Structure 1
Amino acid sequence: MTDQDTDCWAVPPLRPTISFEVMPPRRPGLAPKFWGTVDALIGARPDFLSVTYGAAGNDRDTARQVVSRLVQQAPVLPIAHLTCVGHSRADVVDVVDEFLSAGVRSFLALRGDPPAGQPDWKPTPGGVNSSVELIALLKDRERTRCAAHPGNALRGAAHPLTIAVATFPDGNPAAGTTRDQEIERLLVKQAAGASFAITQLFYRARTYAEFVERARAAGVHIPILAGILPATDPTRLLRVAELSGVRPPAELLDRLSAASSDDERHAIGTQATAALAQSVLDAGAPGLHIYTFNKARPALDVLAHLELLNVEPNQPNPLTASAVVKGTPA
């Protein structure tokens, strides 16, 4: 690596962490567009890129391929989402071992959503049925691998396992939990070994600020990263509300719907999201985790509004400049 390469990817001091969530392509034909999006996001020099695992792990193989490729060939830390709902313990162990064997050292441990359309669904007997149990399993598999070979132990010492968890600053409507119950859950996840937390999306800065204040008072000391969704597409906001129970402000929806063009709608949403992001940074958030839905432009335009994009124009990106895009199929 040359000095120019080092300068290109060095993170400026005092910059809040910047990270993105992406979803593996659902079909092979979508892979080129997906990797183009990843390339654009990497150009912002994020601290990490999280890769979703899909409902009940339905895109397990694709997620593993995407994360493995990022580990091997991209200048960014990938975080692998990991869910456990609806799987036997043996299945979850297999997935964890696959990721660890691929060199993955960072995970987002999630219980996952129960299967849709199954109101009588019950957790798998003897399975891994919570994020806390998943944290324990990850740590157990890491210990087993380190004990099996001194090389694994050395790699583990040089690159310790990092486990993130999710948290819901206004309570989790899907689980029926309140904000205080989410704080209690976060304390349990912290005690189990969580390294940091990422919040569900929210639309008001005080939602984040008040949650963090109460969590700190209760004894939560791990970093709590603010999860942000660019509010540029009213259809997506409503769809996300159906899935998460987190509804966007009516005033924001009205403004987006009244826009006379896609460009005006994009500008309104970008500005609103940037204002929210700036407010949570001012409130002490350590960084921003942007839910991209595989759309680079809204995420990058939000960062541009915040003056957090600092890669020099026309600087080559290793993901494009190398043979990565033409390499291993996604």
Structure 2
Amino acid sequence: MATAHPTVSFELFPPRRPEFDEAVWQRVLRMADAGPDFFSVTYGASGSSREASAELVRRLLTQTAVPPIAHLTCVAATRQDLVTRVNRLMDAGVRDFLALRGDPPAGQGTWSAPPGGLTRSSELVALIREVENERLGAPRPGGGREATTEPPSVVALDLGVEPADVVSVSVAAYPSGGSHTRDAELRALREKQDAGADFAITQVFFDADAYASLVADARAGGVHIPILPGVIPLTDPARLHRLSTLTGVPVPPEVDAMLDTDDAERLRRGIAATLRLIDGVLAAGAPGLHLYTFNQDRPALDVLEHLRARGIRNPALTGRARAGRAQADRAGRPVPTN
């Protein structure tokens, strides 16, 4: 499934404390002004920070022209809780979601759904589609939109999803590490696709071959949705190791050795290594790049600047304007200009 261009997108998370809100927001605005195709906005650990996450999504909708993907997890929520959450986000203008099962809540060693909750991310995908159908009359399969005048998701259009629904639903994929086998991962990814997922975003990896292998195995297993590589700028060794403890994906010794230098040289080397990784996944046919920013704008913007110089088009000239128009149409407000 080909796209017209490689997309570039950024993941954000809500500030941990209110006193950080404005400083983080200024970084977000700098990233928005660079014209990414979309943001995704995560929850905190184990599905915490839901309200702060929703508030950041609403702020992106009203104060930027970059469409946000809202994360949802099954953690500590009944089915009705999730229906209510999806409806509230859609009321605010959200049309793009990332459906995750989520990690076990703090103190719970293994995953178990709460009473009346969902057990798998594929069930959450199906729930979002049910809410979409009830609100917009856009039945699946087939992506028909005869009963609604809403435009299709800009995110889905930019990623080349066919057909592009009004609401896009993305899911996670795992090239490396994790607690399950490749066969189990492929079965789960096919299950999420069959439930109505439009595309997948991968967990972190450090080798382009890991991404290429996942895509090849997925295609052989009947998974046809776009698989967007999730890349973390390789500039902060402490952050890489914290992420490793969360994901189970070890930091390669050669990355640690490369970053064992002074700050300025570490940034230079890290950006160069990130670009080599990006070259590898683009050569493998990646439809775009999703950068895990950790709310740090400089490494993400340095990477984006290099990509623009290499000819990856600036969506501020096309896709970003379309996103702003679609959001404004839904909410009945002027197109944001910042």
Partner of 1:304: 305
Matching residue of 1:163: 169
| Amino acid in structure 2 at the alignment position of 1:267 | R
Q: Tell me the CA shift for residue 84 of structure 1.
A: 1.1
**Contact map agreement 1:241 1:248 (CA 8 A) in 2:** yes
- Alignment-derived partner of residue 132 in structure 1: 122
User: Which is further off, 123-132 or 183-192?
Assistant: 123-132
Structure 1 position 221 matched with structure 2 position 211: no
Aligned 1:118-267 pairs, distance under 5 A? 118-119=108-109, 122-146=112-136, 154=148, 156=150, 159=153, 160-172=166-178, 176-257=179-260, 259=261, 261-267=262-268
Cα deviation, residue 171, structure 1: 4.8
Q: Distance in 2 between the 1:223 and 1:295 partners?
A: 27
Q: Which amino acid in 2 is paired with 1:263? A: A
Report the counterpart of residue 150 of structure 1 in structure 2. none
Is 1:64 the counterpart of 2:48 in the alignment? no
Task: Tell whether the 8 Å contact from 2:177 to 2:247 is kept in structure 1 after alignment.
Answer: no
**Aligned length in residues:** 299
Judge conservation of contact 1:271–1:305 (CA < 8 Å) in 2.
Answer: no
Distance of 2:27 and 2:11 partners within structure 1: 11
Deviation per CA, 1:152-198: give whole Å up to 9, x if none: x53556551100000001252xxx21122211111111111000000
> Distance between the aligned counterparts of 2:337 and 2:295, measured in 1?
16
Q: CA deviation at 1:14?
A: 4.9
Q: In the TM superposition, what is the alpha-carbon distance from 1:214 to its structure 2 partner?
A: 1.2
Alignment-derived partner of residue 328 in structure 2 = none
> CA shift at 1:238, angstroms?
0.6
CA distance in 2, matches of 1:161, 1:304: 30
Question: Matches of 1:146 and 1:165 in 2, distance apart?
Answer: 22
What is the CA–CA distance in structure 2 between the aligned matches of 1:296 and 1:55, rounded to whole Å? Answer: 21
For structure 1, the residue ranges without an aligned partner over 5 or more in a row are 1-12, 148-152, 312-316
Alpha-carbon offset, residue 126 of structure 1: 2.1
Q: Please report the TM-score for the alignment, with normalisation by the length of structure 2.
A: 0.82
Secondary structure at the counterpart of residue 70 of structure 2? strand
Contact 1:21/1:290 (CA < 8 Å) preserved in 2? yes
Structure 2: distance between partners of 1:223 and 1:186: 11
The answer as to whether partners of 2:12 and 2:294 remain within 8 angstroms in 1 is: yes
Structure 1 window deviating more from structure 2 (98-107 vs 134-143): it is 134-143
SS of 1:220 mapped into structure 2: coil
Alpha-carbon displacement from aligned partner over 1:236-282 (angstroms, at most 9, x marks no partner): 1111000110111101102212x0x2111111111111100111101
Q: Could you tell me which residue of structure 2 aligns to residue 5 of structure 1?
A: none
Partner of 1:298: helix, strand, or coil? helix
Q: Which has the larger radius of gyration?
A: 1
Where has structure 1 moved over 4 Å in runs of 4 or more? Answer: 155-159, 308-311
Alpha-carbon distance in structure 1 between the residues aligned to 2:118 and 2:149 = 26
Contact 2:71 2:99 in 1 (8 A): yes
* Alignment gaps of 5+ in structure 2: 138-146, 154-165, 315-319, 325-333
| 2:99 pairs with one of 103, 109, 115 | 109
Q: Distance in 2 between matches of 1:40 and 1:134?
A: 33
Which residue of the partner structure matches residue 15 of structure 2? 25
CA distance in 2, matches of 1:62, 1:141: 23
* C-alpha separation in 2, matches of 1:61 and 1:155: 30
Instruction: Specify the alignment match of 2:144 in structure 1.
Output: none
Paired residues of 2:65 and 2:337 also in contact (CA < 8 A): no
> d(CA) in 1 for partners of 2:177 and 2:206?
14
Q: CA deviation at 1:72?
A: 2.5
C-alpha distance in 1 between matches for 2:71 and 2:110 = 26
Take 1:265 and 1:303, find their aligned partners in 2: how far apart are those partners?
A: 18
One-letter code of the match for 1:272? Answer: A
Give the Å deviation of 1:129.
1.9
Cα distance in 1, alignment partners of residues 53 and 127 from structure 2: 20
SS in 1 for 2:229: strand
Find out whether 1:78 has 2:68 as its counterpart: yes
Aligned-residue RMSD, C-alpha: 2.7
Indicate conservation of the 8 Å contact 2:74/2:113, yes or no. Answer: no
* Separation (CA, whole Å) in 2 of partners of 1:278 and 1:45: 20
Moved more, 240-249 or 42-51: 42-51
Deviates more, 1:32-41 or 1:237-246: 32-41
- Asked if the contact 1:82–1:108 (Cα under 8 Å) also holds between the matched residues in 2, the reply is yes
Aligned letter for 1:299?
A: A
